[in-house]
Chain A
């Protein structure tokens, strides 16, 4: 167990962060809005933490960077992302369906180009040597797990409230929801901003975790990955994106592990090692055809809940 944790520490933390990031795509989806803007806010949150920790909070080199300062950075990153989310969301959410998706892709690209050309973000090189608050990578779980748990609780508790029902009503039938008094723009911007806040927080942790931050973080590739998490995991419950994020982040490593087992034909082992992206793509395509609702569906959760109830009696 100890060796396992030591070998896969980077992967395990990445899985948890990916699951939290997948939730940022789920929040606007609750209101029926396909937005892939969260990599942009993730990048922004990362830059915020990177700049604060290397240029603002001067910490003497020996010794660990204080965790309290990381927490401050997370809050600042969340606020900055939230403010930008509000500013972008108000005009962008006038767009519907695929047009919103395209606009948010453009937003991610624009942020990338801006980061590439500013001095404060370190241009093409980015910001490196971001100080470490922990002596091992596994300890990043102290930040990643609480963030994931809090955001899962947030979404779970949101669903059966007035605001959560308004979002779901918009997803089901925007026109009928408006006729029932739900303000569509307000609630879409609310979901979008909440998503930006969470993405910013994940970015801040990731910047420390990865140790360097540049314009290759939070790009369109991340958008595609997040969509895969949500599509494969399931877009109708908050559990789906979390499971999708965990499983699909682990999948390439699992394939590499299988390839390492003896007795496989060389070509097959090589395919598992190097053809990961192909396998990934096929999974997404096959998944959306045969499991259009994803692996975790509301019906599945209901069945699981139903099975537990009689046992408790």
Chain B
């Protein structure tokens, strides 16, 4: 039972375009699994399928042995799968702290009435939510900006805030969709460190989409390569890097 997520023969098409075509792979517990491929290869669609935002046409998803195919997004999140978005989807009008606090939703219980009445249990939970959110902001290095509104953050900071928000769910599986996009070299290095750090500290399994090849090669235990919706290679970084189909499809002349 070391398999955490099994993607089994998943196909998804929009109109005439097959975004993901008969893709199967297994992510083992504790692994840092990379997903690479040229633009339009179906990486984000696959993320959307795993998190319940898009329903696959055929195929199944198994998480901890349970079939989660077709579950709505909030049910998937409840089971411990958190994600960030390629195009950053923070709650822009809210503060950094509030953004992270919202993601404590599935780990907290207070209802409408107990919250409004400020019952003891609810107040305790609220304090706990506040503390944990603050701790997560500190973890991603945004502790001193807790009260700033998310929309005023620089792009790289927004991406780190999104990671803090995803971590607030206490996920077992974390999906990062191009976390380094728009970051400079220094920020990318810091991000690598952060990913490594939270993975070790929280015992996370991470599924990572990334265009920046050195980052992926450096971080990931295994890498799956998608091209036109098909899985064309899967293996450790060294193996994938020299795989003829990958060289042709993606790495091309740049390597």
Contact residues of B with A, CB < 8 Å?
Answer: 51, 53, 72-74, 77-78, 82-83, 85, 89-94, 98, 101-106, 108-112, 115-118, 122, 125-126, 129, 165-166, 168-169
- With an 8 A cutoff between CB atoms, is A118 at the interface? no
Which residue of chain A has the shortest Cβ distance to B123 in the bound complex?
A161
Given contacts A157-B116, A172-B91, contact A178 B110 (CB under 8 A): no
CA distance A184 to B52 in the complex (A): 14
Of residues 144 through 179 on chain A, the ones whose CB sits less than 8 Å from some CB of chain B are 154, 157-158, 160-166, 168-169, 172-173, 175-179
Given contacts A172-B92, A180-B103, contact A163 B111 (CB under 8 A): yes
CA distance A160 to B105 in the complex (A): 13
Of residues 176 through 192 on chain A, the ones whose CB sits less than 8 Å from some CB of chain B are 176-184, 190
Looking at the complex, which one of A168, A173, A176, A190 makes contact with B112 (CB distance below 8 Å)?
A: A190
Task: Say yes or no: A178 contacts B73, CB within 8 Å.
Answer: yes
What are 6 of the A-B contact pairs (CB < 8 Å)?
A: A173-B91, A178-B72, A180-B82, A180-B102, A180-B169, A181-B103
Task: Say yes or no: B115 contacts A181, CB within 8 Å.
Answer: no
Task: Say yes or no: B112 contacts A178, CB within 8 Å.
Answer: no
CA distance A166 to B101 in the complex (A): 10
Task: Say yes or no: B83 contacts A179, CB within 8 Å.
Answer: yes
Task: Say yes or no: B90 contacts A176, CB within 8 Å.
Answer: yes
> Can you name 16 extra interface pairs (CB under 8 A) apart from A161-B126, A181-B74, A182-B105?
A158-B115, A161-B110, A161-B115, A162-B122, A162-B126, A169-B102, A176-B91, A180-B102, A180-B103, A180-B105, A180-B165, A181-B105, A181-B106, A182-B74, A194-B112, A236-B93
Hey, which chain B residues are within 8 Å of A184, CB to CB?
Answer: 74
B179 smallest CB distance to A (angstroms): 15
Given contacts A165-B98, A181-B103, A181-B105, contact A175 B169 (CB under 8 A): no
CA distance A182 to B112 in the complex (A): 14
Hey, which chain B residues are within 8 Å of A180, CB to CB?
Answer: 77, 82, 102-103, 105-106, 165-166, 168-169
Looking at the complex, which one of B98, B110, B116, B129 makes contact with A154 (CB distance below 8 Å)?
A: B116
Task: Say yes or no: A158 contacts B116, CB within 8 Å.
Answer: yes
Contact residues of A with B, CB < 8 Å?
Answer: 154, 157-158, 160-166, 168-169, 172-173, 175-184, 190, 194, 236, 298
Hey, which chain B residues are within 8 Å of A182, CB to CB?
Answer: 74, 102, 105
Task: Sort A-B residue pairs by CB-CB distance and give the 7 closest, nearest first.
Answer: A161-B115, A181-B106, A181-B77, A172-B91, A176-B89, A178-B73, A180-B103
Task: Say yes or no: B91 contacts A179, CB within 8 Å.
Answer: no
Task: Say yes or no: B89 contacts A162, CB within 8 Å.
Answer: no
CA distance A165 to B93 in the complex (A): 12
Hey, which chain A residues are within 8 Å of B94, CB to CB?
Answer: 168-169, 172
Task: Say yes or no: A173 contacts B89, CB within 8 Å.
Answer: yes
CA distance A161 to B73 in the complex (A): 22
Looking at the complex, which one of A165, A190, A194 makes contact with B102 (CB distance below 8 Å)?
A: A165
Which residue of chain B has the shortest Cβ distance to A155 in the bound complex?
B116
Interface centre among B77, B85, B111, B129 (most CB of A within 10 A): B77
Hey, which chain B residues are within 8 Å of A194, CB to CB?
Answer: 112
B240 smallest CB distance to A (angstroms): 29
Which residue of chain A has the shortest Cβ distance to B171 in the bound complex?
A181
B162 smallest CB distance to A (angstroms): 9
Task: Say yes or no: A164 contacts B115, CB within 8 Å.
Answer: yes
Hey, which chain A residues are within 8 Å of B165, CB to CB?
Answer: 180
Hey, which chain A residues are within 8 Å of B77, CB to CB?
Answer: 178-181
Hey, which chain A residues are within 8 Å of B53, CB to CB?
Answer: 175, 178-179
Hey, which chain B residues are within 8 Å of A178, CB to CB?
Answer: 53, 72-74, 77
Which residue of chain A has the shortest Cβ distance to B151 in the bound complex?
A172
Interface centre among A164, A175, A176, A184 (most CB of B within 10 A): A176
Given contacts A180-B77, A181-B74, A182-B74, contact A161 B90 (CB under 8 A): no
Task: Say yes or no: B122 contacts A179, CB within 8 Å.
Answer: no
CA distance A236 to B85 in the complex (A): 26
A303 smallest CB distance to B (angstroms): 15
Task: Say yes or no: B89 contacts A165, CB within 8 Å.
Answer: no
Looking at the complex, which one of A154, A161, A168 makes contact with B122 (CB distance below 8 Å)?
A: A161
Hey, which chain A residues are within 8 Å of B111, CB to CB?
Answer: 163
CA distance A15 to B94 in the complex (A): 32
A195 smallest CB distance to B (angstroms): 13
Task: Say yes or no: B90 contacts A165, CB within 8 Å.
Answer: no
A129 smallest CB distance to B (angstroms): 37
Looking at the complex, which one of A162, A175, A176 makes contact with B108 (CB distance below 8 Å)?
A: A162
Task: Say yes or no: B118 contacts A181, CB within 8 Å.
Answer: no
Hey, which chain A residues are within 8 Å of B102, CB to CB?
Answer: 165-166, 168-169, 177, 180, 182
Which residue of chain A has the shortest Cβ distance to B109 in the bound complex?
A162
Task: Say yes or no: A179 contacts B73, CB within 8 Å.
Answer: yes
CA distance A157 to B77 in the complex (A): 27
